[in-house]
Structure 1
């Protein structure tokens, strides 16, 4: 599949996933499906994209850190090299037996399984951590689910998306494998906010608002355009006491989005575009340096950046739909109502979503966001109160990852 990276996503993804599924189905004929038989005790191996800067990579690092914080010894295993070996089974998995935890979605888990001789993983208790952003998960994920003992998900929204797919395929037997495990988002030190404002060029004289997205996560789904429209309607003239920063990752493959963003920013001194790549630590500090985060997303499997902002005490305005409502309430954030519309992402990562009455996502009500943007930019005390409530909400997400809770789960039998 070399050379495909330059194709538009709407062509690239069907080719990649189609090829992987064909190869996977052929290889899986010789695999043993996940049962309680043939397993052996051994180490905890956590596989993730440890050296990358995507949301799924960050989620993998959070999981590994949470296991360690709960007292588990683990071996980190990077998934990326598996992509060189999915045909020839040349990858090496550390240790023997035990538990193999893979923080990646089904296509990447399939690559990890194919990259290793099945003898390396057949005696391991296998857990994957999946997320999805529409009301039905892809049907071809069922192929991979058969070889997993558990599937952990970050939100009830993702849980229900997988249940819908399993039921559609008459595979309700897979539903008991699902386990709700929210991302264990860390709480940054209180001093981080003040120190970071100067570092990132933010002004103490302004209310600094942030909207951020990665073009690889689909601009259609993240909907930064909704935030820009709401900001301009909230402030028809340039606002001298507030500023919106749009932080965007990886514009190299989306020049149309780049041109559109720069054209808007060129007309407004209170709107700026930031596309500098930041390290994981700097990104955490960057989010925490703002006063407000605004996300008028159409769908989130969880909403990791929303949770990270809340953990840092940042007041958050976000769409009242999908995975983020597990931890966002009217008491700790400002939630924007929406209408549900058919999923439409003709040029992006959700172009593969088939037409289905269930496959909808949010069209957030801009007029509500306008009101909340005005209110929060004008009321520091309200921002502070929401920020404090948000910190507590994120602290509560750690409950399933505490030692006593993890120790009661089935995987411990194989450590």
Structure 2
């Protein structure tokens, strides 16, 4: 059984708290609602890389140094599932320590988890899911672990101001907004389908515009650079499509959203979908795929949900695709023509657009009311109170299994010849060490 200690109850939140990206916003917002509930909270800020950290310092006053012992009983680790093997194999010294309840607030986008990620989830005593979609996936893969559900809080800044002139957008036209993050996975986010839907809806109309907010492309891979160039070529071919690459403070980013008439997200899969939720809170109708985590706050009464097929995941990255996920991996393939029909209706019927935006805002605010309650914290308190009843987790054994599974996945992703060479490498090296190489090593015997 696990052993509860006398460490004071409170939350150590480990995440990219100062980063200008979705996981950074998640870390900050959940810290905020826990503080509002009166719980002690501290922050361990993780580096997001590519110069994206250090952008938001609102929690700097409760942020501790990386080598500081975590002061409270509950560790909440906020990250995407892709980091799990690295975290489990090489956890920072002060993260997973005896006597703490280790909670994984992990984000994932599909109904199938590769084995090395599933084992990574087992590393935690408790899991939090940010959508019912993620909760269902986790429950099917780690049934022994308590899985809590938490609505995502979203506090909008007070200084949001629609200002098309500020963003170089024309005044008397219908403007659709969309996001494009070069550091995310483009096959899943599916940005080209949104552009296609816009052009199908408005092949010639000069008073219909699309604005694409692209996150920083600093440090992207050559493959992603090619996709960015393809997107740029599309934009250059149509003067109605605008690209904004400027890094914006959060209030200005939402001011850009407020300057649009509608939003579109034709994702193939989302853990939750923060941008559509932000747009709804601003009273904007959203055209979005009717699948995955966004259905935690979207329905046919408050959104323009787009029909789709379910297709096998097709992505040549190491993270998605049949090599990693197996044949059961699937995601949505939204129909651009259906999205185009929604866009056309929103553009041609201002009264409907206004009513739908108002309903979207009302429902999103109701969702926020529930999120502000942070009911998951009360469940964690009960789990901590009964921590000594929790089954003991053999993390050493888990690390061994994760390392073996990661190696097997890497082998599967290699070509046949390279795979055979790698399979021979370890036993060959062991044989040489035993019978030959030891002769050439300096003696360690004492005279």
TM-score range for the pair, normalised by the shorter chain length: 0.7 to 0.9
User: Equivalent of 1:192, from 139, 160, 179?
Assistant: 160
For the aligned residue pairs, the C-alpha RMSD in angstroms reads 2.7
CA contact (8 A) 1:155 1:181 kept: yes
Distance in 1 separating the partners of 2:323 and 2:246:
31
Kept after mapping to 1: 8 A contact 2:182/2:228: no
Q: Which region of structure 1 is more displaced relative to structure 2, 197-206 or 296-305?
A: 197-206
Match status 1:155 vs 2:128:
no
* Partner secondary structure for residue 335 of structure 1: strand
Matching residue of 1:173: 144
Question: Residues 158-207 of structure 1: CA distance to partner in whole angstroms, max 9, x if unpaired?
Answer: 112223333xxxxx322xx1111121122455x7243x433323333111
8 A contact 1:251–1:257 mirrored in 2: no
1:259 aligns with 2:229: yes
Work out which of the residue numbers 80, 94, 98 in structure 1 matches 2:73: 98
Q: Quick one: distance in 1 between partners of 2:47 and 2:107?
A: 18
Task: Give the Cα–Cα distance (whole angstroms) in 1 for the partners of residues 36 and 255 of structure 2.
Answer: 21
Alignment of 1:276-291 (within 5 A): 276-291=246-261
Structure of larger gyration radius = 2
CA distance in 2, matches of 1:272, 1:385: 27
Matches within 5 A, 1:195-274: 196-237=163-204, 239-252=205-218, 253=220, 254-274=224-244
Which sits farther off after the overlay, 398-407 or 92-101?
398-407
Residue 411 in structure 1 maps to residue 376 in structure 2: no
Whether the 8 Å CA contact 1:154–1:181 is kept in 2: the answer is yes
Q: Shift in Å at residue 119 of structure 1? A: 8.9
Query: Cα offset for 1:404?
Result: 7.6
Secondary structure of 2:324's aligned partner: coil
Structure 2 segments unaligned to the other structure (5+ residues): 50-64, 386-447
Q: Secondary structure at the match of 2:165?
A: helix
Distance 1:261 1:317 in 2: 20
| 1:44-83 correspondence to structure 2 within 5 Å | 44-80=11-47
Deviation at residue 332 of structure 1 after TM alignment: 0.7
Deviations 1:242-300 (A, max 9, x none): 21012222435222112211221222111122222223332233223211111111111
Cα 1:61–1:111, aligned 2, differ >3 Å: closer, same or farther? farther
Structure 1 gaps, min length 5: 1-34, 83-89, 167-171
Q: Judge conservation of contact 2:114–2:324 (CA < 8 Å) in 1.
A: no
Counterpart of 2:164 in 1: which secondary structure?
A: helix
Contact 2:174/2:207 (CA < 8 Å) preserved in 1? yes
Q: Tell me by how many angstroms 1:54 deviates.
A: 2.3
CA–CA separation in structure 2 for the residues paired with 1:290 and 1:348:
35
Deviations along 1:29-82, one digit per CA (max 9) or x if unpaired, are xxxxxx642333324211110122222222111211221232323111112399
Q: How many angstroms does 1:403 deviate by?
A: 4.3
Aligned equivalent of 1:333, options 281, 300, 303: 303
Alignment partners' CA distance in 1, 2:321 and 2:68: 34
Q: 1:95, CA displacement in angstroms?
A: 3.9
Alignment of 1:1-12 (within 5 A): none
Give the 5 Å matches for 1:294-305.
294-305=264-275
Shift of residue 374 of structure 1? Answer: 0.8
The structure-2 alpha-carbon separation of the partners of 1:399 and 1:147, relative to structure 1 and needing over 3 Å to count, comes to farther
1:128 equivalent among 85, 101, 104: 104
